[in-house]
Amino acid sequence: MNNENKTNINWYPGHMAKTKRLIKESIDLIDIVYELVDARIPFSSRVLELDEIVKDKLRLIIITKSDLCDLEETNKWVNYYKNLGYEVVLVNLEKPNSYKEVIKKSKEMVKDKKEIKALVVGVPNVGKSTLINQMTKRKVAVVGNKPGVTTSLNWLKTNEGILLLDTPGILWPKLEQEKAALNLAAMSAIKEEVIPIDEVAIHILHTLDKYYPSILKERYGVDKMSFDYENIYDIISKYLHIPYTSGEVDYERISNIIYNDLKSNKIKNITFDRL
């Protein structure tokens, strides 16, 4: 898992290409860009082409899902981005008033505007729809724990003096960094069929072993990861009481359990990206 240039995943649906084009066409209308990233993967979940797309517009990095991350590690990223000159807020969008921090910071950054026009952008499943629904105080954006829910650009009005331009989640054309691609897959930002589920599950296990061995032990009964995956899966199968299929470990079922443990937020207080 250390060869970060091994995987070359092509996943660039037509609506993502269209999104980039529409953003470029609308960018002159924008006062500020809300770039949402996942607190568990504050680097992997950034849109690498965003600088090129939004040019020199004001940028507010909104780090979401603070309730699921390892705060000590994620705060290192907060300080890192601040040191690069970005404005940053760390929020838990599961709390009803979390959006107020975004409004406060927006009005500090954009002064003397009767109505602030904000572009909301980020990879899939990072919380854009949740933020928009909070700021507009009505369910105008579909929320889903899977990529590809939003598919068009929409202007949405709030009662806070901010007009939002919603976008579908976008990713760069080729996920050339293996670790970033697997991190995105682990956090449900990439459709399940793009990367084999067993690769994602193994990546999750290795990352837990490296950073959170106590979670690996408590959740799956594994003391230490090895590259003998048949043995590792056999340990997990016995620990979770997963019956064998035709006398063999049910590898697919176990991989799905591991993947869904993150998807359903059963595993918390983790940050996979490290400075």
More reliable by pLDDT, 11 or 30: 30
Residue 20: per-residue pLDDT: 79
Residue 176: per-residue pLDDT: 59
Residue 182 within any structural domain of the chain: no
Q: Tokens in use for 184?
A: 């995105």
Residue 171: per-residue pLDDT: 64
Percent of the chain with pLDDT over 90: 60
Residue 259: per-residue pLDDT: 97
Can you tell me the mean pLDDT for 163-188? 80
CATH number at residue 61: 3.40.50.300
Residue 14: per-residue pLDDT: 63
pLDDT at 261 over 90: yes
pLDDT at 222 over 60: yes
Percent of the chain with pLDDT over 70: 86
Q: pLDDT digit string (tens) for 99-137?
A: 999 999 999 999 988 899 999 998 888 998 899 999 998
Instruction: For residues 112 and 55, state if they share a domain.
Output: yes
Phi, psi of 165 (to 5 degrees): -105, 105
- Helix-helix angle 229-239:251-263, to 10 degrees: 70
Instruction: For residues 72 and 168, state if they share a domain.
Output: yes
Residue 229: per-residue pLDDT: 96
More reliable by pLDDT, 171 or 25: 25
- Helix-helix angle 197-211:178-186, to 10 degrees: 100
Q: Distances in Å between the alpha carbon of 201 and those of 3, 151, 154, 173, 232?
A: 17, 28, 35, 23, 12
Q: Which residues have CB under 8 Å from 231's CB, separation 6+?
A: none
Instruction: For residues 76 and 205, state if they share a domain.
Output: no
More reliable by pLDDT, 275 or 22: 275
Instruction: For residues 219 and 121, state if they share a domain.
Output: no
Residue 157 domain boundaries: 10-172
Instruction: For residues 151 and 215, state if they share a domain.
Output: no
The last residue of one of the domains, among 139, 157, 172, is: 172
Q: What is the pTM of this model?
A: 0.87
pLDDT at 76 over 70: yes
- Alpha helices by DSSP H, listed for the chain, are 14-26, 50-54, 71-83, 99-109, 128-136, 178-186, 197-211, 213-220, 229-239, 251-263
Q: Tokens in use for 128?
A: 């854009």
Instruction: For residues 159 and 51, state if they share a domain.
Output: yes
CB atoms closer than 10 angstroms to residue 196: 12
Whole-number mean pLDDT of the chain? Answer: 87
More reliable by pLDDT, 11 or 148: 11
The last residue of one of the domains, among 172, 205, 225, is: 172
